[in-house]
Chain A
């Protein structure tokens, strides 16, 4: 077992590659996500995408913000070798929508906005609301876990280097 701090820094790139792959999959093969989450109606990039390119110890960061922002600049950055380091996502199942950001290096979830839950008006309401919130959080954590698990199986297979990397490059250059 690697030291935790060493493992964190040594494998940061895995999280960034996961987010890059996730963006590619969202744009090209979203229907395949349903095998990991049958309730999923859509998963889309939200209002923030951050990419980073590290070359010869120099770091270039591209941040795209805004609800209807064009992601073209991000695609250009990808063709130059950048990877996604942070992505804001909108996840829908039926009438419910979750919005949240994922960081590549930590896989931390931030800015998570859950679907509406009932108000806490009396102490008796609290337990029900807590259980509902926990259920809704579990949905989003389950989604992230399932997608990451799918990614990591692909990443340690030959398919990643033989097919996926070139598919991602082709997608980035053709847009």
Chain B
């Protein structure tokens, strides 16, 4: 689901800190450096990187194409290979049968079975293409806010990690406590009360 979807999910963030130098150029460099690789790495199970909003399957940030009005719009892409368990089971069974036939033995040791399973998984990972998942984001630099178009835990964690690596800025996820503490304009006294708050029923 993304910015152009008919239904969307949004996780809100506050961006802490400022970029040095030209904002667009610094973001461009960060995006380019941590873009999703154009050529798939056959051996890895997953790869994570930035991609462009307009052409998510051919990342291109040239000409600051990620700038829309005063905002920046681009996407996180996670390419993941998922091997169906039944496929692993089938290839494992075939491999075990072959090994038993080749060696004339009736059983295999635990270590041998584990090594066969690892071999089967590694072989299948090489052969199966990765499935791309694209999650759009809108970064409103002026207000230090960012909207990420997914509520999935793994996607949000990947975003937080890649964002700090790319731009050296931290993302603070806005949930009830952080929204109250950072966005609501509470006074110091009110913030002290907030720290001590307990669930309403338990205060009586």
Question: What is A's interface to B at a CB cutoff of 8 Å?
Answer: 2, 4, 7-8, 10-15, 17-18, 81, 103-114, 120, 123, 126-127, 129-131, 133-134, 137, 141, 145, 148-149, 152-153, 155-157, 160-161, 165
Contact = CB atoms under 8 A, between A and B. Distances in A.
B10 A7 contact: no
Nearest to A149: B184
A7 B177 contact: yes
A-B residue pairs, 9 tightest by C-beta: A11-B177, A15-B176, A14-B176, A156-B193, A110-B9, A7-B177, A149-B184, A13-B199, A109-B10
Contacts of A131: 68-69
B183 interface: yes
Which DSSP category, helix, strand, loop or mixed, fits chain A's interface? helix
B180 A152 contact: yes
Which DSSP category, helix, strand, loop or mixed, fits chain B's interface? mixed
B179 A145 contact: yes
A153 B184 contact: yes
A63 B190 CA distance: 34
Nearest to A14: B176
13 contacts: A4-B173, A13-B200, A103-B151, A108-B10, A108-B175, A111-B7, A111-B9, A127-B69, A148-B183, A149-B183, A152-B179, A153-B186, A156-B186
